Amino acid sequence: MRIAIVGAGLAGVCTAYELAAAGHAVTVFERRASVAEEASFAPSGLLAPALALPGLLPARNLGTLRWRWSRRQARRSPAQAAREAQALQLARLGHQRLQALRRALPLDDEAADGVLMLLREAKHLAALQPRLDVLAAAGLAVQVIDAAACRQREPGLNAEAPLHGGLVLGPGSVGNGRLFAQQLRAQAQRLGAAFRFHSLVTGLRAESRSVLLSHEPTSAGPAATRREAGDTQPQALCPQTESFDSVVLCAAQGALPLLQAAGQAPPFASTSDATLTLPLRVLEAHPELGPQAGMLDAREGIAIARIGQRVRVTGPVEAADHAHLHKALQHWLPGCVQQGQMQASTRQRLLMPDGLPVVGASALPGVWLLLGQGGEAGQGWSLACGAARVLADCLAGLTPELDISALSAARS
Ligand SMILES: Cc1cc2nc3c(=O)[nH]c(=O)nc-3n(C[C@H](O)[C@H](O)[C@H](O)COP(=O)(O)OP(=O)(O)OC[C@H]3O[C@@H](n4cnc5c(N)ncnc54)[C@H](O)[C@@H]3O)c2cc1C
One digit per residue, the tens of pLDDT, for the chain of length 412 reads 999 999 999 999 999 999 999 999 999 999 999 999 999 999 999 999 999 999 999 888 888 899 999 999 999 999 999 999 999 999 999 999 999 999 999 999 999 999 999 999 999 999 999 999 999 999 998 999 999 999 999 999 999 999 999 999 999 999 999 999 999 999 999 999 999 999 999 999 999 999 999 999 997 766 666 655 665 554 455 889 999 999 999 999 999 999 998 888 899 999 899 999 999 998 888 889 999 999 999 999 999 999 999 999 999 998 888 999 999 999 999 999 998 889 999 998 899 999 999 999 999 999 999 998 767 777 899 899 999 999 999 999 999 999 999 999 988 6
Kindly give, in sequence order, each residue whose CB lies less than 8 Å from that of residue 128, ignoring residues fewer than 6 positions away: 56, 119, 167, 298
Residue 365 has, within 13 A of its CA and on its CB side, a CA count of 6
Mutate-to-test residue for ligand 1 from 14, 31, 370, highest number of ligand atoms within 8 A of CB: 31
Ligand 1 centroid – CA 182 distance (Å): 13
Distance CA(357)–CA(348), nearest Å, equals 15
In three-state secondary structure terms, 144 is: strand
Q: Around Cβ 195, how many Cβ atoms within 10 Å?
A: 20
Give the per-residue pLDDT at 77: 93
pLDDT of residue 163: 98
Closest ligand 1 atom to 273 CA: 1
102: alpha, beta or left, given left = phi > 0 and alpha = psi -120 to 50? alpha
Using DSSP, state whether 322 is helix, strand or coil: coil
Q: Which of 2, 12, 6 is CA-nearest to residue 215?
A: 6
Ligand 1 atom at shortest distance from the alpha carbon of 12: 25
Nearest CA to ligand 1 atom 10: 379
Cα 278 from chain centre: 21
Shortest-distance Cα residue to atom 35 of ligand 1? 7
Count of positions (residues) in the chain: 412
According to DSSP, residue 37 is labeled: -
Å from CA of 82 to ligand 1 middle: 25
Give the Cα separation of 288 and 281 in Å (integer): 10
Mutate to test the pocket of ligand 1, among 32, 41, 44 (most ligand atoms within 8 A of CB): 44
Closest of 328, 299, 300 to residue 312, by C-alpha: 328
pLDDT tens per residue across span 281-319: 988 888 899 999 999 999 999 999 999 999 999 999 988
Q: Is 403 left (phi over 0), alpha (psi -120 to 50) or beta?
A: beta
d(CA 149, CA 146): 5
Give dist(CA 332, CA 154) in Å, integer: 10
Please give the pLDDT value at position 232. 55
Which is nearest to 92 in space by CA: 356, 338, 382, 298?
382
CA 243 to centroid of ligand 1, rounded, Å: 26
Q: Could you tell me the distance, in angstroms and rounded to a whole number, from the CA of residue 231 to the centre of ligand 1?
A: 34
Task: Return the C-alpha torsion angle 311, 316, 321, 326, nearest 10.
Answer: -40
Q: What are phi and psi of 102, to 5 degrees?
A: -55, -45
Q: Which of 388, 333, 358 is nearest to 150 (CA)?
A: 333
In whole angstroms, what is the distance from residue 304 CA to residue 291 CA? 7
pLDDT at residue 195 in the model: 98
pLDDT value at position 206? 94
Going by alpha carbons, the residue nearest to atom 18 of ligand 1 is: 380
The residue whose C-alpha atom lies closest to atom 44 belonging to ligand 1 is 30
Ligand 1, atom nearest to 347 Cα: 53
Task: Please tell me the predicted confidence (pLDDT) of residue 39.
Answer: 94
Helices (H), 77-221: 80-104, 122-137, 147-153, 177-190
Ligand 1 centre and the CA of 157: distance in Å? 30
Cα 10 to middle of ligand 1, angstroms: 6
pLDDT at res. 138? 95
Ligand 1 centroid to Cα of residue 376, in Å, is 14
How far apart, in whole angstroms, are the C-alpha atoms of residue 175 and residue 103? 14
Quick check: bond before 106 cis, omega within 30? Answer: yes
| pLDDT value at residue 224 | 60
d(CA 290, CA 156): 5
Q: Distance between CA atoms of 317 and 322, rounded to whole angstroms?
A: 7
CA separation for the pair 281, 335 (Å, rounded): 8
Residue 302 Cα, ligand 1 centroid: separation in angstroms? 18
**Rounded distance from Cα 28 to ligand 1 centre (Å):** 15
Query: How far from chain centre, in Å, is Cα 235?
Result: 35
**What contacts 18, CB < 8 A, 6 or more positions away?**
388, 389, 391, 392
**Residue 320: per-residue pLDDT:** 83
If one residue of 13, 17, 38, 346 were mutated to test the ligand 1 pocket, choosing by the most ligand atoms within 8 A of its CB, it would be 38
Q: In 35-77, at which residue ranges do the beta strands (DSSP E only) sit?
A: 46-47
Pocket of ligand 1 (CB under 6 A): 6-12, 29-32, 37-40, 43-47, 177, 200-201, 250-252, 254, 273, 275, 303, 314, 347, 349, 373-374, 378-382
What local confidence, expressed as pLDDT, does residue 285 receive?
86
**CA of 9 relative to ligand 1 center, distance in Å:** 5
